[in-house]
Amino acid sequence: MELIEYLEKVGNQVDRLIDRYFGDPVGELNKASAHLLTAGGKRLRPAVMMLAADAVRKGSSDDLMPAAIALELTHSFTLIHDDIMDGDEVRRGVPTVNKKWDEPTAILAGDVLYARAFAFICQALAMDAAKLRAVSMLAVTCEEICAGQHLDMAFEDRDDVSEEEYLEMVGKKTGALYAASTAMGGVLAGGSQPQVDALYRYGMNIGVAFQIQDDLIDLLASPERSGKDRASDIREGKQTLINIKAREHGFDLAPYRRRLDDAEIDDLIQQLTDNGVIGEVKATAEGLVTSAGKILAILKPSDEKDLLISIGTFFVERGY
Amino acid sequence: MELIEYLEKVGNQVDRLIDRYFGDPVGELNKASAHLLTAGGKRLRPAVMMLAADAVRKGSSDDLMPAAIALELTHSFTLIHDDIMDGDEVRRGVPTVNKKWDEPTAILAGDVLYARAFAFICQALAMDAAKLRAVSMLAVTCEEICAGQHLDMAFEDRDDVSEEEYLEMVGKKTGALYAASTAMGGVLAGGSQPQVDALYRYGMNIGVAFQIQDDLIDLLASPERSGKDRASDIREGKQTLINIKAREHGFDLAPYRRRLDDAEIDDLIQQLTDNGVIGEVKATAEGLVTSAGKILAILKPSDEKDLLISIGTFFVERGY
């Protein structure tokens, strides 16, 4: 099976389950919780988890669908809370929860999904001990995501963030949930500790690469494709790798920390392409994915392992 | 052992563990997470959980301390998020997290404790199946707490909330976590389903009574004793049982929805006492506790059962 075909299959499975549990919400709080979750999304974390599970023990992923949903809920909860903190108004082409409702409702809507994520893990068909390990992993991961978001915000007040600091932040904010996705897949499928460790490291690498690509998309893709404001990171002064590499090239993005029109953004992209910044950022993401593939040598060959490796490549090649 | 002595003993145990895990926080986010948790608190939920566990199987509570801590973390997380939504500035005699830091940090600080609560349950010494049930229970409870807080806020825009609606809201917002405390104690100690069900209902009853008493304390106690702004509920237009009973007596509290000076508050208390409102509210709380005691007939006699029953009485007699 081709990756795109696989992602579509899992995406549809996830969508159906999400529709079953969140498709007909009763009351404003449940509507707010379901809002972003049912507005689409690529369902990549569930797909990554299921591939990791099947790469460890073929056929195990069907039993683990509730845990895969838990990852999507966790992702959605962090987006809802992040949008409050960042004051964002559009996400996935729809108004954010804080915009459509208000901040208190958005805090609670995120908290509701947070709770349900843990409830869903408990419903997976797996050994109790494995499910408890998965609960612990998700808990540690949520804490890391918070630490990553906190660093991300702290970086906004600084103009001297190093590449190393950026990679640490992104590892927590985005890498950790992909790492948890692969590792939880391994744990719930009954993988050995070395397998689970390798899956964790693999997920971390491709997760960081994913975020770097996301930063590129924020700048390069049209709002119609990305579902977000264009160049919002630069407007908000986010310290992305683009920002850091630009500074290394003596190109200061601080003057662009304001609402930019389309012509200004196009001109900025041209400059960052000409001076090599865009190319270097892409190369960093690609390097992470290339080295990630080697980590999975511990898993025996299988179609699912191949798909898991190709998802890393997809992460840095996607345009939205 | 007397109840006060028992509460002091468990409170000290909980304080020691909290101090071990949260006493020396590194970084602003960990400081913000620990802030309210280490500022004191009566540690009533852990005590209730441990008494329930020992009432089911004597001596089991020592193994369950991590789960007791999980309840205190959950309580603290909900307070941090509630304080953002309510715009409160003082809690337990210290500035709230949103006041001392800012709203984004407070959102994240609550989210961190939320994660740690689930991580702590996994560390209890109990059967894996029981710990998974406890995880599910806590998840369902957190969702109920969110629904309760959402109702509570929605009630602020209404002046026609009925006693029944109030009791539903309080059951979710406060009762559910006490119900989870007693039920989780029962589950983790290996209790039967009828025992766990009875403990859940007992916890719910005394939890609702606790909140009614808390509403009375908000009005009646000095800020020095309660650690909160005095009469903050009336200032914010919260629909408490005091408010509802006053309306039944034709006494409208709406004109008091503003900052009140001490003389005005004293005068208000006198009027609400004279017209019987305070007495009726007290009687409602006491009635809940009296009927709660009968629910525990399913448990065999023990010192811990007696203490568990006396904690209900304590809830409605305490002055702060």
pLDDT tens-digit readout, B9-20: 999 999 999 999
Alpha-carbon dihedral sign for residues A282, A239, A166, A94: negative
- Predicted local confidence at residue A225, as pLDDT: 67
Q: Report percent pLDDT > 90 for chain A.
A: 86
**Mean pLDDT of all residues belonging to chain B:** 94
- Predicted local confidence at residue A291, as pLDDT: 94
pLDDT tens-digit readout, B118-165: 999 999 999 999 999 999 999 999 999 999 999 999 998 888 999 999
- Predicted local confidence at residue A185, as pLDDT: 98
- Predicted local confidence at residue A222, as pLDDT: 77
pLDDT greater than 80 at residue A62? yes
CA distance A56 to chain B (A): 23
Determine the residue type at A214.
D
Query: CA distances (Å), A251 to each of A136, A262, A271, B217, in order?
Result: 43, 20, 9, 60
Which residues neighbour B287 within 8 Å (Cβ) at sequence distance 6 or greater?
A: none
pLDDT greater than 90 at residue A229? no
CB atoms within 10 A of CB A266: 10
The region of weakest confidence among A150-164, A224-238, B23-37 is: A224-238
- Predicted local confidence at residue A226, as pLDDT: 63
The CA distance from B296 to B183, in Å, is: 12
Three-state SS at B292? helix
SS (H, E, C) chain A: CCHHHHHHHHHHHHHHHHHHHHCCCCCHHHHHHHHHHCCCCCCHHHHHHHHHHHHHCCCCHHHHHHHHHHHHHHHHHHHHHHHHHHCCCEECCEECHHHHCCHHHHHHHHHHHHHHHHHHHHCCCCCHHHHHHHHHHHHHHHHHHHHHHHHHHHHCCCCCCCHHHHHHHHHHHHHHHHHHHHHHHHHHCCCCHHHHHHHHHHHHHHHHHHHHHHHHHHHHCCHHHHCCCCCHHHHCCCCCHHHHHHHHCCCCCHHHCCCCCHHHHHHHHHHHHHCCHHHHHHHHHHHHHHHHHHHHHHCCCCHHHHHHHHHHHHHHHCCC
The CA distance from B75 to B85, in Å, is: 16
pLDDT greater than 70 at residue B226? no
Residues of chain A contacting B, Cβ within 8 Å: 27-29, 81, 84-85, 103-105, 107-108, 110-112, 114-116, 118-119, 121-122, 128-129, 131-132, 135-136, 138-143, 146-147, 149-150, 153-154
pLDDT tens-digit readout, B64-97: 999 999 999 999 999 999 999 989 898 888 999 9
- Euclidean distance between the first and the last CA atom of chain B, given in angstroms as a whole number: 22
The arithmetic mean of pLDDT across residues A285-299, rounded, is 95
Among all residues of chain B, which has the CA nearest to that of A151?
B29
Question: CB-CB: which of A27, A118, A143 is closest to B116?
Answer: A143
Question: CB-CB: which of A28, A119, A128 is closest to B139?
Answer: A119
- Give A229 or B60, the one with higher predicted confidence: B60
CA distance A187 to chain B (A): 15
The arithmetic mean of pLDDT across residues A306-313, rounded, is 96
Q: Pick from B241, B174, B228: which is nearest to B204 by CA?
A: B174
Tell me how many degrees the CA angle B46-B11-B292 measures, rounded to the nearest 5: 45
pLDDT greater than 80 at residue A246? yes
The arithmetic mean of pLDDT across residues A40-65, rounded, is 96
CB B232 within 8 A of CB B88: yes
Q: Which residues of B are less than 8 Å from A142 in CB distance?
A: 111-112, 114-115
- Predicted local confidence at residue A1, as pLDDT: 73
CB contact under 8 A, B136 and A146: no
CB A183 within 8 A of CB A137: yes
Three-state SS at B308? helix
The CA distance from B235 to B176, in Å, is: 26
Q: Pick from B275, B200, B212: which is nearest to B241 by CA?
A: B212
Q: How confident is the model at residue A301 (pLDDT cuts 50, 70, 90)?
A: very high
CB atoms within 10 A of CB A284: 18
Segment holding B262, helix H or strand E: helix B262-274
Question: CB-CB: which of B118, B121, B153 is closest to A104?
Answer: B153
Q: Which two tokens stand for residue A36?
A: 């972003």
CB atoms within 10 A of CB B225: 13
The CA distance from A106 to A112, in Å, is: 10
Determine the residue type at A29.
L
Q: Which residues of A are less than 8 Å from B108 in CB distance?
A: 81, 85, 146, 149-150
Question: CB-CB: which of A118, A128, A143 is closest to B112?
Answer: A143
DSSP bridge partners of B220: none
The arithmetic mean of pLDDT across residues B39-53, rounded, is 96
Q: How confident is the model at residue A117 (pLDDT cuts 50, 70, 90)?
A: very high
Q: Which residues of B are less than 8 Å from A153 in CB distance?
A: 104
pLDDT tens-digit readout, A189-206: 999 999 999 999 999 999
Q: Which long-range contacts (CB under 8 A, 24 or more apart) does A226-230 make?
A: A226/A320, A227/A40, A227/A90, A227/A91, A227/A92, A227/A93, A227/A94, A228/A88, A228/A90, A228/A91, A229/A88, A229/A89, A229/A90, A230/A262, A230/A265
- Predicted local confidence at residue A228, as pLDDT: 64
ipTM value for the complex: 0.94
Among all residues of chain A, which has the CA nearest to that of B121?
A136
Three-state SS at B289? helix
Q: Pick from B181, B77, B190: which is nearest to B137 by CA?
A: B181
- Predicted local confidence at residue B227, as pLDDT: 60
CATH number of this structure's domain A3-317, picked from the four choices 1.10.600.10, 3.40.50.300, 3.30.930.10, 3.20.20.70: 1.10.600.10
pLDDT tens-digit readout, A133-191: 999 999 999 999 999 999 999 998 888 999 999 999 999 999 999 999 999 999 999 99
